[in-house]
Chain A
Amino acid sequence: MTREPATLDVPLVELVDRLLNRGVVLTGELTISVAGVDLIYLGLSVVLSSVDTIRRAGTEI
């Protein structure tokens, strides 16, 4: 198993995915920016989405 240039970002993305989407949630509300991409928690921190996704969702949110 090796790490090659094309996959150098993969480990960080996998970790960030877990930090943002997994783990126990009690409550919370926070706006964050990771690697230049704005991410937003809505309501009680269960919903996490990129700004683009939120904009596409429009009135559903």
Chain B
Amino acid sequence: MRLLLRAIVDGPDASVADDLGLRSVPGGRVAALASPWDTAGVVGEADLLEHHGFIQAVFERVPCLPARFGSVFPDEAALRARLAEREAELASQLARLGHRCELAITCAWRDTRAVAPTAIVPVRSGRAYLERGAERQRDERGREGRAEEIATRLLAELAVEPALVRHRTCPRPAVAVSMSVLVTRDEIGGINSRLERLSAQLPDVTTVVQGPWAPYTFAVSE
């Protein structure tokens, strides 16, 4: 039976799988939690959200590392073998990250006209064409600069260690800043208050905070 990996937990925590309808596969100090996977080929948004649902359910119960969607194994033996190869690294990551959670902070541009797809408008001359291109480039540079300013203010307001923050500016047309912060649950209230205060001073973006989530951004493949 094929298995889709959902999360990695400490070996002694593997029993949480029973409550959630997951299969646990032991791998020394760690264990993998997985689901039977018989979907052929194309899957969709519902599968992604289900994956997130499983991870959150595990994360609410025990420390875990979330698995990137898409790790499918032909059978339990294959997953067990892969787990054994990575046991030390996964155990180390779990000890470092498992008790922390991720807050996703997104600053989206309020003025959506500026980031709407450019309409194709006929131009009368080559000069007009070039001027329009230059204007578009100026706008883009302006948004990039502003996004950097917003990111700097966010980082200053959050005042957390650089190792606990990842951010990107202008990752998509509608988004100025996408930031992930690794926090303890005790810190969430304080961070939300600080962001609320800061967002009132950023009139050109809408700030959305999501989480706490399992530490997706900080769980990496080494």
Instruction: Please report A residues at the B interface, Cβ cutoff 8 Å.
Output: 1-4, 6-7, 9-11, 13-35, 38, 41, 45-46, 48
Contact = CB atoms under 8 A, between A and B. Distances in A.
Nearest to A13: B172
A23 B68 contact: yes
B106 A1 contact: no
Contacts of B90: 24
A7 B174 contact: yes
Interface string B45-86: 101100110000000000001111111110000010011001
B104 A15 contact: yes
Contacts of A16: 45, 48
B221 A25 contact: yes
Contacts of A11: 106, 208, 210
Most A Cβ at <10 Å: residue of B68, B79, B109: B68
A24 B66 contact: yes
Given A18-B213, A19-B68, A23-B66, 12 more contacts: A14-B208, A14-B210, A22-B219, A23-B219, A25-B68, A25-B71, A25-B221, A26-B83, A28-B5, A30-B69, A33-B42, A41-B70
Interface residues of B, number: 54
A4 B206 contact: yes
Contacts of B106: 7, 10-11, 14
A7 B108 contact: yes
A22 to B, nearest CB: 4
Interface in B20-49: 32, 41-45, 47-48
A32 B216 contact: no
A2 B107 CA distance: 11
Contact of B71 (A14, A15, A26, A35): A26
A14 B90 CA distance: 25
B178 interface: yes
A19 B172 contact: no
B82 A27 contact: yes
B70 A32 contact: yes
